[in-house]
Structure 1
Amino acid sequence: MTAQHAVFGHPITHSRSPFIHAAFAQAEGIALQYRAIDADLETFPAALQAFFADGGRAANVTLPLKEAAFALCASHGHAAQRAGAVNTLIWREQHWHGENTDGSGLVRDLTSRHGLDLRGCRVLLLGAGGAARGVAPALLDAGIDELVVANRTASRADALVDAMGEPGRVISAYWEALDEQGDFEIILNATSAAHGATPPPKLPSSLVNSRTSAVDLNYGAAAVPFLAWANAAGCRKQIDGLGMLVEQAAEAFHLWHGRHPDTEPVYAQLRAQLL
C-alpha cells in the first residue's frame, strides 16, 4: 500500500518537499505519495483531520504552522519539546506525535556540507518564530558559546530566550540596538520578512568580523535580500537554507521509514534548479 504523506503550510506552492521525499523514496525503494496542502492557522486543524481521514499518518509542517502543530500533538520528541515547535508529524498510539528536525538538519548542513565549526561561536539569531525556535536548541547543543536573539517584537525574543532555559548564554537584544552588540561568527536569518511585503530592517555592518558566516533559513528568491547584505558587509560565507531543507527532510524520512537517505544527489539536483 502506498503511504500517504503531505506538507502543510501557507503559502505552499513553492515547496520542494514533495520533490525531495519522492526522490528519497525512489532511491530507497519505498512506495510513497507526498503532496502539498495549503493551510493557514485557521484552517490547519481541519486540513490535518481531513488528511488523516484520507489515510495520512505522517506529515511535515512549515511556515506559519510550526507552533500550531506543537499544540495539536499529544506527545513530543525532545527537540520539539524544547523548541515548542513541530515540523514533523507521526501518527503514533492513536494520537499525533510531534518532532522537530530543523535544528539537526541545520547543524548537519553547516558542519558536514559547509565545513563550519560551531564550537565556541557567538551567534546572532534574527527572528523568534517557529523556524528560530526549531534551530536554537540544536545550535546550543552543537557547542556555540553565546546565542543572541533579536526580533522586531521584543516580547517574542524574550519568550524564546526563556524557553531555552540558559540565562547568560542565551540573551535577547533590541533590533534597533544591534549596533551595540559587537560582532558575531554566525548571523542567522530565521525571519520570514522576505516572504511578505515588508522588507527586513537594515542590519549594521558592525555585526560582521573576518570570520563571520551569514546563514539564511530561506532559499531561492526569499534568501536574496539577506545574503546580498551579507556579501556587501563582507561576510566570509553566505549560505542559504537549501541544504538545511534537504537535511531536515532526511531526518524526517528516517523517523518515518527507519532509513536515512543519501542527501547529496537530491541537494545537487535542487541546487542546479536554482541556478
Structure 2
Amino acid sequence: MTDRYAVFGHPIAHSKSPLIHAAFARQTGQDMTYEAILAPLDGFAASVAAFAAAGGRGANVTVPFKEQAYQLADRLTPRAQRAGAVNTLKFEAGGTLGDNTDGAGLVADLTRNLKRTLAGKRILLLGAGGAARGAIEPLLDQNPAALVVANRTVSRAEELAALFGRGVVASGFDGLDTPFDLVVNATAASLAGELPPLSPALFTADTLAYDMMYGRDTPFLDFARRHGAATADGLGMLVEQAAEAFLLWRGMRPDTAPVIASLRAA
C-alpha cells in the first residue's frame, strides 16, 4: 500500500514541498504520495488528526502552525524541544513524534551547497521568532567565534540568548556596526517586502548574506549586495530540511543537489 505524507499550512498553494518529496521518492524508489493540505487557522489539530486517522504516515508543518505542532506532538526530538517549534511529524504506533529539521537544513545548505565554513566565524542572526530559534543550536554546533541574535524588540533576543546560553549575544538592530562573516535573515520582513534597519557596516566582500525566504530577490539581499556582500536565498535550506524529514520518515537521505538544481531551473 502506498504511504501517504502531506504538508500543512495556511496559505499552502505556493508550497514546493510536494515537488521536492516526489523527486526524492523517485530518486530513492519509495512508494509514497505527498500532498499539500490547507488547514483552517482554527482547525490545524483536527486536520492533522483526520489525516493520521486516514492512514497518513507523517507530515511537514509550515507557517503559521509550527508552535501548534509542537504542542500536538506526544514526543519531541531534542532539537525540536530546544527550537520550541515542530516542522515535521511522524505518526507512530505509540503516538506522534515531533521534530524540527529547519536548522539542520540551513546548516546543510551553508556548508554542503554553499561551501561555507562556519567554525571560527562571526554570525549574525536577524529575528527572534520560530525561524531564528530553530537555527540557533545547529549554528552553535558549528563552533562559530560569535553568534549574535538581533531583533527589533531586544527583549525577545535576550530571551533566546538566555535560553541557549553558550555565548549567544543579544542585540537591537541599532547596536550593530561591525562586519560579520554570515548574516542570516530570519525575520518576517522579507515576506512584507521590507528591510530590517541595518547598517551597511555589517557587510564586506567576505560576508555571505543569507535570506531564509526563497523565490524572490528580497530587499535584504539587494541591500547586502549593494554593500559588497555575496548573497543566497533559502531555496537550498528548503530542500535540505525536506531531506532531513525524508530521512526521519523513510530511513534514507536523498541526494539534494539535483533537486535544488531542477527547482532553480524552473
TM-score normalised according to structure 1 size: 0.91
| Residue 76 of structure 1: how far off its partner (Å) | 1.0
CA offset at residue 265 of structure 1? Answer: 1.3
AA matched with 1:201: P
Question: Given that residues 204 and 227 in structure 2 are in contact (C-alpha distance below 8 angstroms), is that contact kept between their aligned partners in structure 1?
Answer: no
Q: Does 1:208 align with 2:203?
A: yes
SS in structure 2 of the partner of residue 163 of structure 1:
helix
SS in 1 for 2:204: strand
In the alignment, what sits opposite 1:233?
A: 227
Q: Deviations over 1:148-203 (max 9, x none)?
A: 1112233322222222132xx10111123334xx221110001122223x623331
Structure 2: runs of 5+ lacking an equivalent: none
**Equivalent residue, structure 2, for 1:176:** 174
Matched AA of 2:102: D
* Aligned residue identity for 1:178: L
Name the residue aligned to 1:119. 119
| Separation in structure 1 between the aligned mates of residue 89 and residue 7 of structure 2, nearest angstrom | 10
Deviates more, 1:35-44 or 1:112-121: 35-44
CA distance in 2, matches of 1:190, 1:39: 24
CA distance in 2 between partners of 1:97 and 1:246 (Å): 21
Matched pairs, number: 266
| 3-state secondary structure, aligned to 1:184 | coil
Shift of 1:40: 5.8
Q: Distance in 2 between matches of 1:125 and 1:190?
A: 7
- Corresponding position: 1:194 with 2:176: no
Find the residue that maps to 1:36 and give its secondary structure.
Answer: strand
Q: Is the 8 A contact 1:107 1:139 kept in 2?
A: yes
Normalising by structure 2, we get a TM-score of 0.94
Deviation at 1:41, TM superposition (A): 5.0
Counterparts of residues 32-71 of structure 1 (less than 5 Å): 32-39=32-39, 41-71=41-71
Compute the displacement of 1:19 (Å): 0.2
Q: State the percentage of identical aligned residues.
A: 52
Distance in structure 2 (CA, Å) of the matches to 1:64 and 1:178:
29
Contact 1:9 1:64 in 2 (8 A): yes
Distance of 1:212 and 1:104 partners within structure 2? 21
Task: Determine which of 209, 212, 219 is the counterpart of 1:217.
Answer: 212
CA offsets, 1:117-156, max 9 Å, x none? 1001111111112211111110000111211111223332
CA–CA distance in structure 2, aligned partners of residues 160 and 85 of structure 1: 14
Q: Which amino acid aligns with 2:264?
A: R
Which residue is 1:271 aligned to? 264
Give the CA RMSD over aligned residues: 1.6
Mapping of residues 71-220 of structure 1, within 5 Å: 71-166=71-166, 169-179=167-177, 182-196=178-192, 199-220=194-215
Distance in 2 (CA, whole Å) between partners of 1:108 and 1:238 is 16
* Counterpart-to-counterpart distance in 2, 1:41 and 1:49: 15
Change (3 A) 1:245 1:209: same
Shift >6 Å, 4+ stretches: none
Q: CA 1:229–1:71 in structure 2 vs 1: closer, same or farther (change >3 Å)? A: same
Amino acid at match of 1:111: T
Amino acid at match of 1:251: E
Q: Partners of 2:183 and 2:104 in 1: how far apart?
A: 18
Distance 1:207 1:62, change over 3 A: same
| Structure 1: gaps (5+ residues) | none
